[in-house]
Structure 1
Amino acid sequence: MQNDLVFKTGSAKRTLGWFVCLGAGGALAAMIYGIFMHPEAQTPAELWSGVVIGVFLVGLMVAGIAVQYARWSIEGENIIYRRLFRNKTIPLSELAGFGQVIVVVVVIPIVHVGLYDRKLKLIARLPVSLKDWPEAEARLAARLRYVVNDGSPALPKRRFVDTPKKKHVL
């Protein structure tokens, strides 16, 4: 069953992806210009380090472009996560819950959906725009339980919403 609703990366994250891509492209162009304008001043070690830095910058450019292509949808009993080079199919039968993950860059919130198995292990983190979050939450809530993190990103204490919190006894 094909779903017409596709959840994409938010505009803030796509803009950040373009900044990374164009910034890395500008740095790569400047490095190539510097090497070709003054080839006599370059030692072999500097040329090899330029090659390594160039490969790294090309990787950053690909990562910036890959952000533009990240999208997912719920099709039948599967979540189809489409990326730049490959797609991932996540069966809903393997999942037990989902949660909202918000990362704030400067003052711009970037929203993701965390998908968890029955042992509350993170299976996937899918991007979603802030305006599409209510619709994504409604579609996932119809099939999965909500997961909250009472801990921190470094020391997570995840639990299902319907599971009571543990009380500390002194």
Structure 2
Amino acid sequence: MNRLKFTFKAWPVIAAATIGLCFLTQGVAKLFGIDLPDQHQIEAVRYMFEHALDSAQNFSVLCLGLLQVLIIMPVVEEFIFRWFLVRMPTRRLGLAARTAIVPLAVFSSAVFSFAHYIDYVTLIKGRGFVMTGWNAAFIALFFFGLAQCWLYRKTDRLWCPMLNHALFNLTNLILIFVVPE
């Protein structure tokens, strides 16, 4: 495999592509008149920002929320969706990487998108399985997942999609406050 040289000089290009994906998703949705409702996580982050200075406890919750969105979830999700669902099967099962990578990347990306639209609070409280916001953002997350699989495959380093995922989340956090509702 010809590994992509992933240097700090490459980050502006990758950052621009990631930010471009965010804006492209919004633009295509607007072009087709599609309203992209927020995921429950985004609504929670917006609420945390709006009420962060009300009390020390709210500020602590905001800090923990940012830690989760910008560090913990990119690490955990990339480990699950890129390493566990893509890399491990190819190595463990002895699958030919060229043959297996496309179906595994598609499967991983679909599960990644699907996971972002489950109402976990309702599920945990035993009220059943509920999907929220099934829309064009699901497709955007699917393609983001494919891009992450490509990035991992080209660099052979899990930290690259982790860092890119964190940048993607940061960009979306900024867009929450820049793009009007």
TM range (shorter): under 0.3
| TM-score (normalised: structure 2) | 0.23
Point out which structure has higher relative CO (alpha carbons under 8 A, 6+ apart).
2
More helix by share: 2
Q: Decide which structure has the larger Cα Rg and report it.
A: 1
More strand by share: 1
